[in-house]
């Protein structure tokens, strides 16, 4: 057992079988319930006797997806009940020194996920000289509901509070508060890019890594009100935070799920605003104050200029959502053309262009490629163009799942980044023989970037579009998929 002193009190962790010090479930803010519901994160109550930090704390309220079929096997959830869920976890090689710090922000469409998933175990980062932190933050309505009054983006404010905790306390865990890298995947990556644009986060981190998410996923206040009003109607309460706070959590979670299904079933811009395009009801709100403009606009105007950035995507992100569900096999050519038009592409030219690089591709394959570019790859490249000196990567390793059809899908890079190929939670995604050399390469690039700001390849420039392509054999590329990229010029 090892004890570390924080500003709130002592915490007692343990030494893992790998010789890493682990501290779990440390509160960085007070429980967001009762009078703290729908308020910015409040300081946690101090404690006077050493606090046990040998097990994960509660996770943000969310529905369990264990019975939802094959997609749930690819992206499992962990639900630990309890109110004190604004907590974080630390892995460190020791409590002395000033090592680089990495803070991971989990994904899950801003409605699910947890920093407490065993898949995010930070032992291999600690083994390699990094202090690794994971955290939980408010999700769904509790984190992102807004009717125009009171503070918006409470989930992001939670993340900022966790980063303030890191600044104030990480030195006791052997970390350097002057060398903090935030990194996240999916909604976590969108959070990373949004934090780059938020004045309240300025100075709390020095480097940023965005995996499969960029700076375009936000909603306007008008759209936030549309979403909130419909949620209140489902719950049969007044469209106010106060009324929704009176609803039992189980009922609120069920209403959120129903709302999500309604958006998917009828993605009307008139009814749902920007949410109609990405079918993600709860997202950061551009309120003009906390978040002055969309993250990509803020970054293009100079926000985050002093922060080193690494951003990238997987080659076939959208296959995670189209293959396990069977949707890819049902896509017809007319549906493919209609989807291209919906994404503001010249339909016939775009489909012809994507087909040229994919001989024998089905309409479902082509739709997956177009959606991958629209939602993931092109926004990442736009951010790299807006932020000088950004490094770009692509993960091209193809999962063998679903008879070799799942491909280099969404989330496939995570076990390699964390070097956790042996974690049972990743087995459905990785199969029997995932390449350790890919984990060695990706994990080391993340460690190197967090340590020095250089992952090991040249930065991306509009006149020299170099990126690292991670695979069983990794190498740099220059303007890979360039003909497809050009199709999006002026459109994303």
Which domain range does residue 144 map to?
Answer: 2-219+283-306
Q: Is residue 186 situated within a structural domain?
A: yes
- Give residue 435's pLDDT band: very low, low, confident or very high (50, 70, 90): very high
Q: Quick one: 33 and 58 in the same domain?
A: yes
Q: Quick one: 377 and 292 in the same domain?
A: no
- Give residue 168's pLDDT band: very low, low, confident or very high (50, 70, 90): very high
Q: Quick one: 336 and 357 in the same domain?
A: yes
Stretch 330-342: mean pLDDT: 94
pLDDT of residue 1: 86
Q: Quick one: 297 and 350 in the same domain?
A: no
The pLDDT tens digits of the residues spanning 399-412 come to 999 999 999 999 99
Q: Is residue 64's pLDDT more than 90?
A: no
CA 183 – CA 173 distance, rounded (Å): 19
Q: Is residue 73 situated within a structural domain?
A: yes
Q: Is residue 229's pLDDT more than 80?
A: yes
- Give residue 134's pLDDT band: very low, low, confident or very high (50, 70, 90): very high
Stretch 176-185: mean pLDDT: 98
Could you say which of 306, 337, 354 is where a domain stops? 306
For 359-382, b where at least 16 C-beta lie within 10 A, e where not — what string?
eeeebbbbbbbbbbbbbbbbbbbb
Q: Is residue 251 situated within a structural domain?
A: no
Q: Is residue 235 situated within a structural domain?
A: no
Q: Is residue 261 situated within a structural domain?
A: no
Q: Is residue 124's pLDDT more than 70?
A: yes
Q: Quick one: 289 and 343 in the same domain?
A: no
Q: Quick one: 298 and 350 in the same domain?
A: no
Q: Quick one: 213 and 64 in the same domain?
A: yes
Considering only the C-alpha atoms of the chain, give the largest distance between any 2 of them, rounded to a whole number of Å. 68
Number of domains in the chain: 2
The pLDDT tens digits of the residues spanning 370-392 come to 999 999 999 999 999 999 999 99
pLDDT of residue 67: 65
pLDDT of residue 193: 98
The pLDDT tens digits of the residues spanning 212-227 come to 999 999 999 999 999 9
pLDDT of residue 26: 98
Stretch 326-339: mean pLDDT: 94
Q: Quick one: 115 and 146 in the same domain?
A: yes
- Give residue 491's pLDDT band: very low, low, confident or very high (50, 70, 90): confident
Q: Is residue 249 situated within a structural domain?
A: no
Q: Is residue 237 situated within a structural domain?
A: no
Q: Is residue 126 situated within a structural domain?
A: yes
Q: Quick one: 91 and 163 in the same domain?
A: yes
Q: Quick one: 189 and 84 in the same domain?
A: yes
The pLDDT tens digits of the residues spanning 65-118 come to 766 777 777 787 889 999 999 999 999 999 998 999 999 999 999 999 999 998
Stretch 342-361: mean pLDDT: 92
Tell me phi and psi for residue 341, to 5 degrees. Answer: -65, -40
CA 144 – CA 131 distance, rounded (Å): 29
Q: Is residue 251's pLDDT more than 90?
A: yes
The pLDDT tens digits of the residues spanning 438-475 come to 999 999 999 999 999 999 999 999 999 999 999 999 99
Q: Is residue 299's pLDDT more than 80?
A: yes
CATH assignment of the domain containing 9: 3.40.50.1820
Sequence-ordered list of residues with C-beta below 8 angstroms from that of 207, at least 6 positions apart, any chain:
179, 180, 181, 182, 307, 308, 309, 310, 449, 450, 453
Are 218 and 180 within 8 A, CB to CB? no
Q: Quick one: 84 and 215 in the same domain?
A: yes
Residues identified as active-site: 186, 317, 410
What is the overall mean pLDDT for the chain?
95
Stretch 419-443: mean pLDDT: 94
Q: Which pTM does this prediction carry?
A: 0.96
Q: Quick one: 294 and 389 in the same domain?
A: no
Could you say which of 306, 339, 374 is where a domain stops? 306
* Burial class of residue 162 in the structure, from the number of CB atoms within 10 Å of its CB (0-12 exposed, 13-18 middle, 19+ buried): buried
């Amino acid at each position: 057992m090892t004890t570390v002193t924080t500003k709130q009190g002592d915490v007692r962790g343990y030494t893992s079988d790998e010789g890493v010090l682990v501290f779990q479930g440390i509160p960085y803010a007070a429980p967001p319930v009762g009078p703290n519901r729908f308020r910015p994160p409040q300081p946690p109550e101090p404690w006077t006797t050493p606090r046990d930090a040998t097990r994960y704390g509660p996770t943000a309220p969310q529905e369990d997806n264990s019975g939802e079929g094959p997609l749930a096997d690819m992206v499992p959830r962990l639900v630990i009940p309890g109110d004190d869920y604004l907590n974080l976890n630390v892995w460190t090689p020791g409590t002395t020194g000033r090592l680089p710090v990495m803070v991971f922000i989990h994904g899950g469409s801003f409605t699910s996920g947890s920093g407490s998933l065993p898949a995010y175990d930070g032992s291999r980062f600690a083994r390699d000289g990094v202090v690794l932190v994971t955290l939980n933050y408010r999700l769904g309505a509790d984190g992102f509901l807004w009717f125009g009054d009171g503070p918006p983006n409470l989930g992001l404010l939670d993340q900022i509070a966790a980063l303030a905790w890191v600044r104030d306390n990480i030195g006791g865990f052997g970390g350097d508060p002057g060398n903090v890298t935030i990194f996240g995947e999916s909604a976590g990556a969108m959070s990373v890019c949004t934090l780059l644009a938020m004045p309240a986060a300025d100075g709390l981190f020095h480097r940023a890594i965005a995996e499969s998410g960029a700076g375009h996923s936000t909603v306007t206040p008008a759209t936030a009100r549309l979403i909130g009003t419909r949620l209140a109607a489902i719950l049969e309460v007044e469209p106010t935070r106060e009324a929704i706070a009176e609803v039992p959590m189980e009922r609120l979670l069920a209403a959120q799920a129903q709302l999500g299904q309604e958006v998917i079933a009828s993605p009307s811009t008139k009814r749902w605003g920007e949410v109609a395009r990405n079918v993600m009801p709860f997202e950061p709100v551009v309120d003009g104050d906390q978040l002055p403009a969309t993250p990509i606009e803020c970054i293009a105007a100079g926000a985050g200029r002093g922060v080193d950035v690494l951003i990238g995507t997987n080659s076939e992100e959208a296959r995670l959502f189209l293959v396990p569900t069977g949707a890819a096999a049902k896509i017809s050519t007319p549906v493919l053309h209609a989807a291209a038009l919906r994404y503001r592409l010249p339909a016939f030219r775009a489909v012809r262009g994507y087909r040229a690089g994919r001989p024998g591709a089905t309409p479902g394959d082509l739709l997956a490629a177009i959606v991958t570019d629209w939602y993931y790859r092109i926004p990442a490249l736009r951010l790299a163009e807006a932020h000088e000196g950004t490094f770009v990567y692509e993960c091209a390793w193809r999962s063998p799942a679903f008879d070799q059809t799942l491909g280099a899908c969404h989330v496939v890079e995570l076990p390699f980044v964390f070097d956790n190929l042996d974690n049972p939670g990743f087995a459905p995604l990785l199969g029997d023989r995932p390449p350790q050399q890919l984990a060695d390469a990706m994990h080391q690039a993340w460690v190197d970037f967090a340590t020095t700001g250089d992952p090991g390849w040249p930065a991306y420039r509009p006149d020299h579009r170099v990126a690292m392509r991670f695979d069983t054999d990794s190498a740099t590329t220059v303007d890979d998929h360039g003909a497809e990229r050009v199709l999006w010029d002026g459109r994303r």
